[in-house]
């Protein structure tokens, strides 16, 4: 089943055309590819950063500065070359309440604290726990995120200037209609067609960049009246300046920003580490989770002191980068530098780019991100895995990524625990003077009750032997179940022996004074029972 799910993820990657670049990264051709990939990503970052700034209720430059600073630092020091980071919607929707109630300065302080928490997570190597995310959750994650990216682009089909910034993001607005709508749709379709055809003609220029360039040239050359980047907001600005958040340095401030910082840090790390895993699948490289946590944290600390809204990894832009040939740190670094150049010098030109071209690029990202093969896989894998894929997809769209992943992991873990809980059974062998129970299946909290139901203290002979060679005693609940059975046999005036227990396990039970433990053939494997020893939960100690 796991192999089937992995195959589904691999097939999804094949749909994107994101195959490893055969060029050496630091040849002239490789450097050109990396730089052009960075330029493509930078162009796609502009409307995203502006839109997410509006969602958070802050000035567009706050989002652009975050995209530049977070993108630059993580590109240089992150755990996976090829990943792109910046301001994201998952974080923006959490920030909006803080900004609306306390103001943007509290947001900057929160971003600094968020970064510190992420650095701590990296230093403590907590990033390794991302391996606990099952493959069905990953499939649901990419499907849900593809839908979110698609829905986010629909706002570009509204009349520029008709939406209101309420402090809770952009709302309302009139949809394009008539000729304006048909022109917009036609340009989107043209961009997508260019991206699809371009790799079959030449790979010298990244297909998304070619799509943006051709469509922008047509719009500017013919003076077509369609929404452009400048209709969202002006991106002109200066260099980000060092700025200590203007908030009272007291306990009350800490109480205000801490809950937001914890949530933002968790969401940022989950999205970044899942994106890292996805990029690792694409590029064939593994590892770097703890390094990515530290880099994300350091980037957010710096961003908070330079007037940015913070950020994390962006799966859409990361896929654009990898699809365009970006494989090294050069592409991500170039994307951040290009973005800064846009802000400082090229804003009039960038503001003329039609939104239709960028929407077309993101629609192609949606097509490449969605795990289409999961629709087939769900008919072949166990029902629980299929339900997890659907559940994570729905929760990602309805709420946010962090909640979806946590829900998916919990459901998967409960399903696994229930499956193992039903596996406990015993083969018995009885003579006139003794009875042997050969336990099969794991003994843990989920199977403890089923384990207790296997025995018959009243009807069994005077000597009972319980053989754990085919079982594994996993937790304190299992030890408590063994102790409870022992007490029942003692109350009935009978003896019980345990075989093939770990040494620390049978040592603990022997201290209880009720058991005879045959240790001659016990295996030497570890089990965590220190808690029971310290607290006296078992055996009256």
Instruction: List, in order of start, the domains of the chain with CATH numbers.
Output: 25-159+185-369 (no CATH), 423-535 (3.30.750.24)
Cα distance between residue 256 and residue 265, in whole Å: 15
Band (522; pLDDT cuts 50, 70, 90): low
Per-residue model confidence as pLDDT tens digits over 101-146: 999 999 999 999 999 999 999 999 988 888 888 889 988 988 988 8
| Rounded to 5°, angle at Cα 79 from 119 and 11 | 130
Distance CA 476, CA 443 (A): 10
Return d(Cα 1, Cα 409) in angstroms, integer: 17
Identify the H or E element spanning 426.
strand 425-430
pTM for this model (two decimals):
0.76
> Distance (Å, rounded) from C-alpha 387 to C-alpha 383?
6
One-letter-per-residue 3-state SS of 15-45 = HHCCCCCCCCCCCHHHHHHHHHHHHHHHHHH
List Cβ<8 Å contacts ≥24 apart for 24-27.
Answer: 25/327, 25/328, 25/330, 26/328
Q: Average pLDDT, stretch 400-424? A: 87
Helices (H) and strands (E) in the chain, counts: 22, 9
3-state secondary structure string across 52-72 = HHHHHCCCHHHHHHHHHHHHH
> For residue range 337-389, what is the model confidence (pLDDT) as tens digits?
999 999 999 999 999 999 999 999 989 988 988 888 888 888 888 899 999 99
- Token digits for 204? 């010298």
With a CB cutoff of 8 Å and minimum separation 6, the contacts of 533 are 508, 541
For residue 190, pLDDT beyond 90? yes
Rounded to whole angstroms, how far apart are CA atoms 302 and 225? 40
Residues comprising the chain, all counted: 541
Centre a 10 Å sphere on the Cβ of residue 493 and count the other Cβ atoms it contains: 8
**What digits encode the pLDDT tens for the residues 255-294?**
999 999 999 999 899 889 988 988 887 777 776 889 999 9
Residue that wins the pLDDT comparison between 507 and 115: 115
Question: 475-499, pLDDT tens digit by residue?
Answer: 888 888 888 898 899 888 898 888 8
Could you please report the per-residue DSSP string of 341-384?
Answer: HHHHT-HHHHTTSBHHHHHHHHHHHHHHHS-TTHHHHTTTS-HH
Q: How far apart are CA 23 and CA 126, in angstroms?
A: 35
**Two tokens, residue 55:** 């969602």
Q: What is the dihedral of CA 319, 324, 327, 333, to 10 degrees?
A: -90
Q: Which residue has the higher pLDDT, 440 or 149?
A: 440
- Give the model confidence (pLDDT) of 195-219 as tens digits: 999 988 888 888 999 999 999 999 9
**How many other β-carbons are positioned within 10 Å of the β-carbon of residue 217?**
11
Distance CA 50, CA 307 (A): 14
> At residue 18, does pLDDT exceed 60?
no
Tell me what pLDDT residue 169 has: 42
Q: Which residues contact 146 (CB under 8 A, 6 or more apart)?
A: 365, 366, 369, 370
The Cα–Cα gap between 495 and 461 comes to: 9
What's the pLDDT score for residue 526?
Answer: 39
> Dihedral of the CA atoms 386, 392, 395, 401 (nearest 10)?
-170
DSSP string, 223-242: T----BHHHH----------
pLDDT digits (tens, 9 = 90+) for 148-173: 888 888 888 888 665 554 433 445 56
Q: pLDDT of 43-99, one tens digit each?
A: 999 988 988 888 888 999 999 999 999 999 999 999 888 899 999 888 888 898 899
> Rounded CA gap, 304 and 285, in Å?
31
Looking at residue 539, the DSSP 8-state letter turns out to be T
pLDDT beyond 50 at 10: no
Express each pLDDT in 280-335 by its tens digit: 877 777 768 899 999 999 999 999 999 999 999 998 899 899 888 898 999 999 99
Q: How large is the angle between the packed helices 315-323 and 329-344, nearest 10 degrees?
A: 110
- Classified as helix, coil or strand, 133 is coil
What DSSP state is assigned to residue 157?
G
Give the rounded percent of residues in the chain with a pLDDT score beyond 90: 47
């Amino acid at each position: 089943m796991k192999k089937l799910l992995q195959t589904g993820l691999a097939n999804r990657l094949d749909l994107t055309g994101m195959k490893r670049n055969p060029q050496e990264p630091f040849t002239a051709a490789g450097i050109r590819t990396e730089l052009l990939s960075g330029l493509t990503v930078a162009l796609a970052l502009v409307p995203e950063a502006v839109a997410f700034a509006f969602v958070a209720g802050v000035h567009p430059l706050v989002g652009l500065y975050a995209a530049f600073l977070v993108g630059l630092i993580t590109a240089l020091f992150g755990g996976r070359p090829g990943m792109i980071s910046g301001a994201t919607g998952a974080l923006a929707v959490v920030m909006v309440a803080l900004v609306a109630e306390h103001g943007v300065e509290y947001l900057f302080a929160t971003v600094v604290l968020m970064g510190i928490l992420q650095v701590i997570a990296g230093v403590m190597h907590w990033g390794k726990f991302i391996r606990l995310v099952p493959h069905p959750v990953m499939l649901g994650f990419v499907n849900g995120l593809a839908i979110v990216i698609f829905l986010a682009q629909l706002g570009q089909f509204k009349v520029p200037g008709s939406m209101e910034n309420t402090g809770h993001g952009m709302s309302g607005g009139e949809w394009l209609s008539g000729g304006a709508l048909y022109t917009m749709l036609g340009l989107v379709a043209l961009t997508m067609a260019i991206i699809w055809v371009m790799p079959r003609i030449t790979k010298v220029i990244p297909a998304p960049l070619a799509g943006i360039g051709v469509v922008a040239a047509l719009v500017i050359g013919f003076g077509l009246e369609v929404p452009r980047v400048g209709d969202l907001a002006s991106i002109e600005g200066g260099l980000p300046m060092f700025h200590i958040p203007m908030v009272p340095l007291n306990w009350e401030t800490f109480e205000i920003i801490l809950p937001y910082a914890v949530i933002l840090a968790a969401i940022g790390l989950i999205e970044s580490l899942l994106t890292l895993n996805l990029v690792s699948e694409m590029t064939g490289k593994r590892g770097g989770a703890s390094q990515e946590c530290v880099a994300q944290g350091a980037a957010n600390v710096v961003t908070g002191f330079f007037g940015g809204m913070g950020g994390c990894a962006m799966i859409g832009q990361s896929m654009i980068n990898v699809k365009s040939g970006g494989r090294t740190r050069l592409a991500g670094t170039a994307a951040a530098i290009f973005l800064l150049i846009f802000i400082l010098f090229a804003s009039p030109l960038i503001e003329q780019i039609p939104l239709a071209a960028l929407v077309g690029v993101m629609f192609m990202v949606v097509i490449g991100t969605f795990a289409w093969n999961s629709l087939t896989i769900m008919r072949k894998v166990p029902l629980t895995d299929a339900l997890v894929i659907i559940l994570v997809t729905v929760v990602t769209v309805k709420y946010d990524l962090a909640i979806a992943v946590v829900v998916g992991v919990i459901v998967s873990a409960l399903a696994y625990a229930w499956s193992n809980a039903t596996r406990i059974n015993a083969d018995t062998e009885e003579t006139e003077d003794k009875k042997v129970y050969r336990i099969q299946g794991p003994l843990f909290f989920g199977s403890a009750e089923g384990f207790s139901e296997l025995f018959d203290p009243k009807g069994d002979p005077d000597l009972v032997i319980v053989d754990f060679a085919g079982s594994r005693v996993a937790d304190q609940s299992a030890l408590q179940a063994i102790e409870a059975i022992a007490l029942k046999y003692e109350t009935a005036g009978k003896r019980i022996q345990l075989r093939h227990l770990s040494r620390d396990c049978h040592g603990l039970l022997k201290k209880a004074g009720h058991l005879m433990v045959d240790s001659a053939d016990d295996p030497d494997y570890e089990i965590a029972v220190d808690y029971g020893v310290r607290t006296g939960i078992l055996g009256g100690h």
